[in-house]
Copies of this chain bind each other. A is one copy, B any other.
Amino acid sequence: MRIKIFSVGGTIDKVYFDKLSQYQVGFPSIRAILGSLPIAFEYEIESLLRKDSLEMNDADRDLIKAHVAAEPCGKIIITHGTDTMVETGKALGTIMGKCIVLTGAMEPADFKSSDAVFNVGVAVGAVSALPDGVYLAMNGRIFDPFKCWKNRHLGIFDEL
């Protein structure tokens, strides 16, 4: 099995800079996550953007869509900020013949209590098992981007 992974930023990739006493979007955290585990599938990671997803615009989504559409690998995971993950999922909804799973994290992967490793695991399980289509893997569930939303109050995704 082979998976192509695109990272576009988001909380999952946020790192802390003491000099500025603030967070910034760093390099793809999924590289360190998968690199430290006994993985038995092939994968390739490509960083497309390093943005907080609230700052992503239509041009960013066009860029992501173009890369996903041009990607020969049929199993694709995208690590993405949670705030506009639904919008990007919808924008990818017209791509046929590929299984595309978006995931991210509520806490940066660098945190001891981060959900990043678990969420990446769910995304890997989902992309291996699901038929072609676009899905979100968050909070241990698999969602249709056209039928879910991020409940910011509870900090979890839910069905519409």
- Residues on A lying within 8 angstroms of B by beta carbon are 1, 11, 14, 16, 18-19, 21-23, 33-34, 36-41, 52, 54, 82-83, 106-108, 110-113, 115, 117-130, 137-142, 152, 155-158
A36 to chain B, nearest CB (A): 6
Contact between chains at A18 and B82 (CB < 8 Å): yes
- What's the number of copies of this chain in the assembled complex? 4
Contact between chains at B128 and A37 (CB < 8 Å): no
CB closest chain-B residue, reference A54: B21
Which of A110, A118, A120, A158 has most B Cβ within 10 Å? A118
Contact between chains at A16 and B107 (CB < 8 Å): yes
CB closest chain-B residue, reference A139: B40
Per the bound structure, the CA–CA distance linking A38 and B119 in Å amounts to 10
Given the contacts A1-B141, A52-B21, A37 and B110 also touching, CB distance less than 8 Å? no
Contact between chains at B33 and A118 (CB < 8 Å): yes
Per the bound structure, the CA–CA distance linking A23 and B120 in Å amounts to 23
